Amino acid sequence: MSIIFNEKTKTITLHTKNTSYQMKIGNLDYLLHLYYGPSIPDEDMSCLIMQYDRGFSGNPYESRSARTFSLDAQPQEFSTQQQGDFRTSSIEVVNSDGSYSFHGKAVNYKISKGKYQLSTLPSVFAGRDDTADSLEVTLCDVVSNIQVTLLYGVFEEADIITRAVKVTNHGKNPVYLKKIMSMCLDFLNGSDLDLISLPGRYGQERQVERQAMTHHIHNIGSVRGSSSHQQNPFVILCDREAGEDYGRCYGFSLVYSGNFLAEAELDQYDQLRFVMGINPKQFLYELKPGQVFECPEVVMAFTSHGFTALSHLYHDFYRTNLCRSKFVSQVQRPVLINSWEAAFMDFDDVKLVEIAKAAKNMGVDLLVMDDGWFGKRDDDNSGLGDWFVNETKIKCGLHKLVEQINDLGMKFGIWFEPEMVSEDSDLYRAHPDWAMEIPGRHAVRSRNQIALDMSRRDVQDYLIEKVNAILDDANIYYVKWDINRSLADIWSNALPPEKQGEVYHRYVLGLYRVMDKIILTHPDILFEGCSGGGGRYDPAMLSYYPQYWVSDNNNPIDRLKLHYGTSFVYPTCTMGAHISDSGRFVPLETKAVVAMCGTFGYELDATHLSKEELAICKEQSQRFRKYYHITFKGDFYRLTNPFQMGNMTAWQHVTKDKKESLLSVVVTNLTCNGPQEYIRAKGLDADAFYSINGGPQIRSGSSLMNAGIPINREVPEYSAFQFHLVRQDEA
C-alpha cells in the first residue's frame, strides 16, 4: 500500500516510486503538512516544526497559555478561517449567522484501493496496470458542522499525487462558500524558490515567465470564464538554480476549464503557502443542508532532476490517465486540411470538393469544413446557434457532401461553436433569455456574439440534440469544437438574484454535461478543442479531446515559443499544429518541421499550389507518418530556449527504448561570420551507436549528447533541419 498511517505518531505518508508526502494529525487535531520531496522512510518529520513564541501571534483558544502554537506559523494541509492564520486562505465560508469562520480539525481518515472519482467534474483515472490508492481526510467545524474532505490519489509508478476537496453541509442551515481551494501546500522555507507560469495573450499563448518569490502574494489566474489565453492553470515552484536537467521542481496542474486562481505567498517567516482552485471573484455558492460541493482536481508532481524530468512525468501521465479517447493511443491521427484559411466563409460544396481533390495529392487524409456551413452565416455577425445546414452553400446536403469526400478516399470533419449565439439568429429571436445578458443593461459584444447560458438545462439539451443530429446524419470523422470569446455579463435568467454568484461555475458544469452527452457518446469521432486558438488549453478539456489547437497564430517562428511553453506540461501529441500561408518568408520545409512537433496538418488553399508544392507536401505528410511513433509516443526534450538570445531553436523526440530519435532544428537568427553552432542531443543510450538520416556516418550516443551535431551555417535564414537517429543494432 502506497499510503501508510502510523498509529503511534499519527502521521500519514504517501509514497510514489521516487517521492514521499507526509502530513500529521498534530496539536489539538490540526492537520499539519510535514514533507513533500524525494523518498524518505516512514519516519515522523514533525521534528522540522520548531515551536516558539512568535510574538503577538494568535493562538487557538484550546491551546490555553501555550503561546508557542500559532496557526499563523504552522504548516497546514488545509488552512482554517478566522483562527489566527492571516496568510492566504484555503476556504472562506459565510455561516448562517453571518459569521465568516471555518475551524477545521481532523476527525477521521480513510485509505482505499484505487483512485477516488469526482461525480460532477472531470478527473484523471487509474489504468488497468496502475497501482493507485486513495486517501480521504475529513476536517470538521463542530460549531457549523461543515465538513471538508481532503482527497488524495497516489499513482505509485507515475510519481503523481492528485488532490481535490469536497465540502459537505451537515448543519441545519444553508451556508455560502466565498472561496474554496482544491489544495493547500505549505513549505517550511520557500525563500529560495522561483515561480514559473505560462502567461500570454491571443496569438501568443503560454509564454514562459519566471520570478523569484518575494514577500508578497503572487497571483496567477483567470476571471474570463475560461482558463484563458492570458494565463494557464499550471505553475512550477522550483529551486532558484533549477534548469532543464537539474534542480527541485514542484508542478501543479488544475483540471478545470473556468475561472481559476493560484496563489503563492512568502510569509514573514520565509514560509511559502501555495493554494490553487476556483477563482473566488464573483463566486458565492449556496450549500444547503445535506448538499456537497466538489472542487476540481490538482495533479501534482515532484522531481529533483529539473524541468525536463517534470515535463516527462506530466507527458506520460496525461497520455495514459487523462483522456479515454481511442485516438490517444489506438488510432493514428490523420493529416488534415482545414478550409478556414483556404476560403474563410466564402465556400460551397463544389469548392470544398475541389480543395479535397487537390489535398489528396498532398497526402492529406481528412478535409475539415470550418465556420460558415450553417444557418445564415456569411460573416461573423450572424448565424451562431442555428445548427442546421445552410443548403444555399451546401447545395447537395451534408450527407451527400460527406459521401463525395469519402469517395475520394478521404475522411470528413466539421466545425462547431456550440456555446455562443448571434443576435441575428433564429435561436436568439426565439430564446433571448438563453443568452447571458444582465437585465436592463446592454451586453458586451465580442466578435459580435454572446455567450449562451450553459448553466441552463434547456440550453444544454438544445445543444445536445442539435449537434448530435448533425453528427449522426453523416459519416463525420472529426469535430473542431471552438469558443471565440471570453465571458462577460454573467447572469442567468433561470436563477434567482441570490444565486448569480454560482453562474460562472454552473456554466462550466453545464459545458461538461454537454460534452459528456456529445463527445463521450461518439467514441469513433476525433474531437479537437479550440478557443480562439489556445484560450482554453487545460487538462479538463484534454480529458475530452486528445488534441487542442495551440494558437490561431500559425507563424512558424512564433510557434517555436508557443510549442516550447506548452510542452512544459502538455505532451506534444495534444498540440494542434498546421502549415499555413502565415510566415511568407519562411520556407515550406521549416513550416513542416515546426508542425511535426504537433498533430500536423494544413490551413491553406490546396487548389493554388503548384505540382511541385503538392509533391513536397505529400512527402512531408509521409514523413509525419514515418516519425509518428517517435513524436507521439516518445520522450520530448527542449534543447534550446527560444526566449533567450540564440541563433537556433532545437527540440528532440526519443522513443522510450532509445532506439530512435528525431532531432529538429530551426535557424532563427543568423549573424554575419558567426561561430559554428552545435546542437547537443539528449535522452540517447550513451553506449550505443546511431546512424544519422540513414547515411554512412555512425556516432555514439555519448558523442551526440556531449559534443553535439554541427549545424550548417551556409543556409538561408529560417532554414530547418531534421536528424533521424537510429541505433545501429536496430537499423
Which sequence positions are flagged as catalytic? 538, 613
Site of grid cell 482505499: 112
Tell me if residue 634 falls in helix, strand or coil. coil
Q: Any bridge partners for residue 378, and if so which?
A: none
Here the cell at position 295 is 472542487
* 3-state secondary structure labels for all residues of 17-34: CCEEEEEEECHHHCEEEE
Tell me if residue 76 falls in helix, strand or coil. strand
Start-to-end CA distance of the chain, whole Å, equals 43
Q: Is 339 left (phi over 0), alpha (psi -120 to 50) or beta?
A: alpha
Instruction: Enumerate residues 6+ apart whose C-beta is below 8 A from 445.
Output: none
Say if CB 209 and CB 565 are below 8 A apart. Answer: no
Strands 526-529, 547-549: pairing kind: parallel
Determine the Cα–Cα distance for residues 577 and 470; give it in Å rounded to an integer: 26
Q: How many residues does the chain have?
A: 731
Closest CA to 594 of 579, 613, 610: 579
Give me the DSSP letters along 122-171: ------TT--EEEEEEEEEETTTTEEEEEEEEEETTTTEEEEEEEEEE-S
Determine the Cα–Cα distance for residues 200 and 228; give it in Å rounded to an integer: 9
DSSP 328: G
**Helices 503-518 & 457-473 angle (0-180, nearest 10):** 30
Here the cell at position 329 is 493511443
